[in-house]
Amino acid sequence: MAAQRVLHVISSTMRAGVTIMVMNMYRSVDRERLQFDFIAHDLGDDDFGPEIEALGGRVFRLPFMSRVGMSGYVRMVREILQKNGPYAAVHAHTEYQAGFVALAAHQAGVPVRICHAHADTRYVRTPLFLLKKMLGRALIDRYATQRCAASTSAALSTFGARAVKAGQVLIVPNRIDVSAFGDRTPESRAKLSTACNAGPDSRILGCAGRLSAEKNPGFVLDIAAAAEQAGLDMRFAFAGTGSMLESLTERRSRMGLEDTVFFLGSRDDIPSLMPCFDLLLVPSYTEGFCLAALEAQAAGTPVLASKGVPPEADMGLGLFYTLPLSAGADAWAQKAADIMETAARPDIETRRQAIRTRGHDTGAGANGLLQLYGIS
């Protein structure tokens, strides 16, 4: 019997949080029973396209809805479903725009239509955005057969308080392969130190994720400047790329931080890179969950996060610290120094057990996916 297919709708196939999470799911499923296809929008690099095809999936490229209009977008999604199905389910990861996908899937006769919230966009208050969000939520209410979210914050943002209070939203933990994350090796640390011009006593602080406005990467440059002013021997390494790379590179030069701030580009070695950081910085204005914080704790690396990161990201290992952005760069630099001085890395098995207990291991979610998609 041929594997049943599920169509995932994602922003892009570049290396970013939601796509990484979906790929973690894809690698863990029994692909003789379940196969994934993808609709991806024309944003960023095609980091995962070759792997998707190697695993038996297909990628269909679509322009963003803002370029083709609402009705045009629904028609394009419907045509993909009709020409390439049948599909057991459609799983859309595009916040309020998932409502338009659910409408297209309803029109194409797909029985399971999942709208999945990963981000907290409540800080965006422009009239046009709010109008689109209201329309998308109305379509979700009417055509989705299941609402899912990475956290309560993401659920409230996309689906609203009424749906959350009524128990209509399933919180689905973001998952990683915890077995891939171990302790740092001298070789990997030495390689990172060389890339960051770090001495034997230097502390290396990492940032992992898209270089985009909501991630607030410019604040890391402010922290780097504050650390330098305070005489702290710190290096700052960005693992990821995005729309702000050029402006951040130019600002680094203007601030004279070329010797302490480094852009490592998109990385496919996060499990070996993450333990080499002495601390992960997450200064985001908002996060639906924060996969990088989960990966850091799996690697035993402490996290200093803004209040925009939801509490679900704390794995209870004593590695998760928060500080409001309003405290300022000086306070963040000093807090980071204090954490790195005192935080203890739990052993591997303790870390893995804590993450598994909270349902964030890919191995724990494979059977649940089949149930979610109505596949027996």
Model pLDDT for residues 276-311, shown as the tens digit of each residue: 999 999 999 999 999 999 999 999 999 999 999 999
Find the helix packing angle between 152-159 and 127-143, rounded to 10°.
100
What pLDDT band is residue 44 in, cutting at 50, 70 and 90?
Answer: low
Both tokens assigned to 309: 């990161």
* Nearest CA among 12, 10, 17 for reference residue 207: 17
Rounded-to-integer distance, Cα 260 and Cα 208, Å: 17
Could you tell me the pLDDT band of residue 14, with boundaries at 50, 70 and 90? confident
Task: Classify 19 as helix, strand or coil.
Answer: helix
pLDDT computed for residue 248 by the predictor: 98
Average pLDDT, stretch 338-342? 97
Which residue, among 281, 160, 158, has the nearest Cα to 216 in the 3D structure?
281
Strands 4-10 and 34-41 turn out to be parallel
Let me know: does 17 contact 352? Beta carbons within 8 Å.
Answer: no
Q: Say whether pLDDT at 92 is over 80.
A: yes
Q: Which alpha helices (H) appear in the chain, and where do they start and end? A: 17-28, 49-54, 65-68, 70-84, 98-107, 127-143, 152-159, 161-165, 186-195, 218-229, 245-255, 270-273, 291-298, 329-342, 348-357, 366-372
Where do the domains of the chain lie? 4-175+361-372, 178-357
Mention every residue, 6+ apart, whose C-beta is less than 8 A from residue 358: 173, 315, 316
Among 138, 268, 263, which Cα is nearest to 206's? 263
Instruction: Note the pLDDT tens digit of each residue in 245-277.
Output: 999 999 999 999 999 999 999 898 999 999 999
- How far apart CA 65 and CA 267 sit, in angstroms, is 29
Tokens of 373: 């998609």
Evaluate if residue 89 carries a pLDDT over 60.
yes
Question: Helix 245-255 and helix 218-229: axis angle, to 10°?
Answer: 20
Q: What per-residue confidence (pLDDT) applies to 364?
A: 64
pLDDT of residue 363: 73
Interatomic CA distance for residues 357 and 366, integer angstroms: 15
Over residues 204-251, the pLDDT tens digits come to 999 998 899 999 999 999 999 999 999 999 999 999 998 899 999 999
For residue 2, what pLDDT is reported?
Answer: 83
Burial of 67 (0-12, 13-18, 19+ CB in 10 A): exposed
pLDDT band of residue 121 (cuts 50, 70, 90) is: confident
Q: Compute φ and ψ for 22, nearest 5 degrees.
A: -65, -40
Domains 4-175+361-372 and 178-357 share a fold: yes
Answer CATH for 4-175+361-372 from 3.40.50.2000, 3.40.50.11540, 3.70.10.10, 3.30.2390.10: 3.40.50.2000
Percent of the chain topping pLDDT 90: 81
CATH fold of the domain at 178-357: Rossmann fold (3.40.50)
Predicted pLDDT at 17: 80
Mean pLDDT of the chain: 93
> pLDDT tier at 43 (50, 70, 90 boundaries)?
low
Mean pLDDT to the nearest integer, 44-54: 88
Give the model's confidence band at 45: pLDDT under 50 very low, under 70 low, under 90 confident, else very high. Answer: confident
